[in-house]
A and B are shown apart, each in its own frame.
Chain A
Amino acid sequence: MSAALLWVLLPVLVGVALLFYRRSDDTPLYLALGLSFILTWIAWQFPIDVVLQLGSVSIEISPTLVFLGRNFTIAENQRLLLTFIYLAETFWLLGSFITRPGRWFPALSLIAVGLFMAALSVQPFLYAALFLAAAVLLWVPLLVPPGSQPGRGIRRALIFLLFSLPFILFTGWLLTGAEGSPGSVTLVLRAGLMLALGFSFLLALFPFHSWMPMLAEEAHPYVLGFLTFFLHSVSLLFLLSFVERYVWLRDNPAVFELLLTVGSLGVFLGGLWAAQQRHLGRLMAYTGMLATGGLLQAIGLGGAAGLPAFFALLLPQAWVLWALAACLGVLYRQAPSLQLAELGPALRRHPLLAFTSVTALLALAGLPLLGPFPAHLAIWQGVGRHSVGLLVLTLLGSLGLLAGGLRLLHAWLSAAPAALAPAAPAGPRRLRGDLANPYVWGFFLIWMVTLLGYGLLPSFLAPVGRLVLMFPQLFQ
């Protein structure tokens, strides 16, 4: 059995099969959750390319699958990443029990994760752009559910995200030429420009970010959170593959300077705009922009300093973004809109989720003692060594997000008391208040303990450091 069959094809096939399930109960969610959990466990426990003897049965997960003349390879050094991706999918599926992002969510999320894994495993790796585009197209029915009017955000999102494809595919071709004649400055400049444009569209970097806040006003926050989290994480790994693969890219300090500058700009602008938002969806979108900027900064630090910081930030940030999207997803079901002015009753009714949302924003801003802080600190130190100006921009961005978090806290604390607040709408959208809901208590306690635990004891996630082995050339 090949790894790609197990972690790419199987989830895609099961996802497609689940789309045909007609009854509106939770069976697809349970099936998707079960499969995702099993795939996480296999990725965690079973080495790739090693024959395992279980009694009389021998099992081997081979790394390569040949399909239409191209290879899909998942090597042993990618197994930890594989575990992380399927664990993340398991958590997103778990969160959908309370956020209810739509009946197609379990099936489409399985297919999307399969496509994201295909993007990470296809050889030559630059075809990944095609799988990412396919995943984006697949996600549209969840972003604009049947019966709703598509807004400008989805149209712009589609256009911008699909624009990235020609740039990235042509970059791959140009880079092959640049490899043959590394002395050609024109060729290198053209390839660099194409690469920068392609990833700017894909990662929604300034000035191509406008679809994110627009779509955040139109779509379910949990659905948008899933798409942007996976899309940006996989795209950043794809970017790392580019830098790892081409010598002239990883040996060129200007590339890292550019990444550092663009990342710092993302953190600054994301934070600045987050501070002004009165709509929680838009606030989440700008938070995502800041989070992506932070990860780009880590890559921009380069090599042995940047790569560990990148992975050290990626995991706690994923944990925080998931919780933020889940809390907003519940509030979205309970309130007429995510405008802070209209959210008061829902925030009062869900104090644990409100507290979690505020904590998530503060954690992403880099508040000490919380999960992402150790990685933020390492990045800030690295950025400061390169440029004090960029460090100031970074800190201003973090302060902006902090202000956004405090604005949410103010909206929550100044809302009408729960007893006076109108009850949540009746019918399927109704959900028990937090304090009477054991599942929310469980989510809240586990999330807070994990977040504080990692913030206080960052060595807890030390094994994650092994993820740098996926990029040995870059890590040197």
Chain B
Amino acid sequence: MNDFFGTLVVLLLLLTALYILVNQDWRWAIAALGLQYIWAFLLVIATWPAELAVVKLVTGWIAASVLGLTRLNLPEDPALPDSGVPSGRVFRLLAAGLVVLMTLGAAPRLADWSRAFGIYPSWGGLLLIGIGLMQIALRPGMFRSALGLLTLFSGFEILYAAVEASTLVTGLLTALNLGIALVSAYLLSAPSLEVQE
């Protein structure tokens, strides 16, 4: 992966992750999640054969679709007022800034320390893990937690792809991503489901 392309992919990954963290509209968040999986896929093919890496892309898109379709069938939330600093967009951006700073420091050391990780997957992986964590910590509700978990696992998988390419593990991680999306969809719609006891 050449420098320009690698940097571009990491920047795009950062932008989509930040967008998911900051924005209020769930539709655009789902669209950004779909895009995020494309950039993650481009980082994974640095270490994996494309035909195996594409599994992660397709899985991510299915997970995003499951969440999107579930959310579509739920009543719209009354517009949540963004209560400003410290819980509003500025605070989340500042928190993401901290993640970016930490990643800038940690990724080169990670790549230096282990030859398994390239610098761009290290940047991408750590950024997604950090911003996913912020998403889980700073945004209330199951939908946002699901986005955070999927982002976090996407970052983890970028890094883990460098050390493990087993078919079984790929299959299980795929099932896990789909499981997170399905369980989140279930929890979102559970109150409106018919009681079958």
With A155-B187, A158-B183 given, name 14 new contacts (CB 8 A). Answer: A68-B168, A69-B166, A103-B196, A130-B172, A130-B173, A130-B176, A134-B172, A144-B187, A147-B194, A148-B190, A148-B191, A159-B145, A170-B160, A428-B197
Bound complex: CA A127 to CA B168 (Å): 9
Interface string of A423-441 (1 = CB under 8 A from B): 0000010000000000000
A273 adjacent to chain B (CB < 8 Å): no
* A321 CB to nearest B CB, Å: 25
**Neighbouring A residues of B197 by C-beta, 8 Å:** 24, 102-103, 145, 428
Bound complex: CA A149 to CA B175 (Å): 25
Q: Of residues 124 to 146 in A, which have CB atoms within 8 Å of B's CB atoms?
A: 127, 130-131, 133-134, 137-138, 140-141, 144-146
**Neighbouring A residues of B190 by C-beta, 8 Å:** 144-150
Q: Which of A131, A155, A173 contacts B145 (CB 8 A)?
A: A155
Closest residue on chain B to residue A162 by CB atoms: B149
Interface string of B108-134 (1 = CB under 8 A from A): 000000100000000000000100000
Contact at A130–B169, with CB atoms within 8 Å? yes
Q: Tell me whether A159 and B194 are in contact in the complex, defined as CB-CB below 8 angstroms, given that A134-B175, A137-B183, A150-B142 are known contacts.
A: no
Interface string of A155-197 (1 = CB under 8 A from B): 1001100100110011001000100000000000000000000
Bound complex: CA A162 to CA B129 (Å): 13
**Neighbouring A residues of B171 by C-beta, 8 Å:** 68
Interface string of B165-194 (1 = CB under 8 A from A): 011110111011001101100110011011
**Neighbouring A residues of B172 by C-beta, 8 Å:** 127, 130-131, 134
B1 adjacent to chain A (CB < 8 Å): no
Interface residue count for B (Cβ, 8 Å)? 35
Q: Tell me whether A159 and B196 are in contact in the complex, defined as CB-CB below 8 angstroms, given that A150-B190, A166-B156 are known contacts.
A: no
**Neighbouring B residues of A140 by C-beta, 8 Å:** 183, 186-187
**Neighbouring B residues of A146 by C-beta, 8 Å:** 190, 193-196
Contact at A70–B166, with CB atoms within 8 Å? yes
Closest residue on chain B to residue A71 by CB atoms: B168
**Neighbouring A residues of B164 by C-beta, 8 Å:** 169, 173
Contact at B187–A147, with CB atoms within 8 Å? no
A67 adjacent to chain B (CB < 8 Å): yes
Q: Which of A68, A69, A133, A159 contacts B136 (CB 8 A)?
A: A159
User: How large, as a class, is the contact surface on chain A?
Assistant: 35 or more
Q: Which of B168, B175, B196 contacts A69 (CB 8 A)?
A: B168
B163 adjacent to chain A (CB < 8 Å): yes
Bound complex: CA A102 to CA B182 (Å): 20
**Neighbouring A residues of B195 by C-beta, 8 Å:** 145-147
**Neighbouring A residues of B196 by C-beta, 8 Å:** 24, 103, 146
Closest residue on chain A to residue B175 by CB atoms: A134
A154 adjacent to chain B (CB < 8 Å): yes
Binding site for B on A (CB under 8 A): 24, 67-70, 102-103, 122, 127, 130-131, 133-134, 137-138, 140-141, 144-150, 154-155, 158-159, 162, 165-166, 169-170, 173, 177, 428
The 3 closest A-B pairs by CB, nearest first: A146-B193, A147-B195, A137-B179
Bound complex: CA A131 to CA B164 (Å): 17
- A–B complex contacts, Cβ < 8 Å, 19 sampled: A68-B166, A69-B167, A70-B168, A130-B169, A130-B176, A133-B176, A140-B187, A141-B186, A144-B186, A149-B191, A150-B187, A150-B191, A154-B187, A155-B187, A158-B180, A158-B183, A162-B153, A165-B176, A169-B160
**Neighbouring A residues of B149 by C-beta, 8 Å:** 158-159, 162
Closest residue on chain B to residue A166 by CB atoms: B156
**Neighbouring A residues of B142 by C-beta, 8 Å:** 150, 155
* B64 CB to nearest A CB, Å: 18
**Neighbouring B residues of A150 by C-beta, 8 Å:** 142, 187, 190-191
Interface string of B134-148 (1 = CB under 8 A from A): 001000001001000
* A379 CB to nearest B CB, Å: 35
* A150 CB to nearest B CB, Å: 5
* A333 CB to nearest B CB, Å: 11
Bound complex: CA A118 to CA B190 (Å): 29
* A313 CB to nearest B CB, Å: 31
**Neighbouring A residues of B159 by C-beta, 8 Å:** 170
**Neighbouring B residues of A138 by C-beta, 8 Å:** 179
Bound complex: CA A181 to CA B193 (Å): 55
Q: Tell me whether A173 and B163 are in contact in the complex, defined as CB-CB below 8 angstroms, given that A144-B190, A149-B190 are known contacts.
A: yes
**Neighbouring A residues of B193 by C-beta, 8 Å:** 146-147
**Neighbouring A residues of B166 by C-beta, 8 Å:** 68-70
Closest residue on chain B to residue A139 by CB atoms: B183
**Neighbouring B residues of A149 by C-beta, 8 Å:** 190-191
* B164 CB to nearest A CB, Å: 7
**Neighbouring A residues of B163 by C-beta, 8 Å:** 173
Bound complex: CA A144 to CA B142 (Å): 13
Bound complex: CA A249 to CA B133 (Å): 30
Bound complex: CA A130 to CA B176 (Å): 8
Bound complex: CA A411 to CA B194 (Å): 36
Closest residue on chain A to residue B116 by CB atoms: A173
* B111 CB to nearest A CB, Å: 15
* B4 CB to nearest A CB, Å: 30
Contact at B176–A68, with CB atoms within 8 Å? no
**Neighbouring B residues of A147 by C-beta, 8 Å:** 190-191, 193-195
Bound complex: CA A131 to CA B172 (Å): 8
* B120 CB to nearest A CB, Å: 19
**Neighbouring A residues of B168 by C-beta, 8 Å:** 67-70, 122, 127
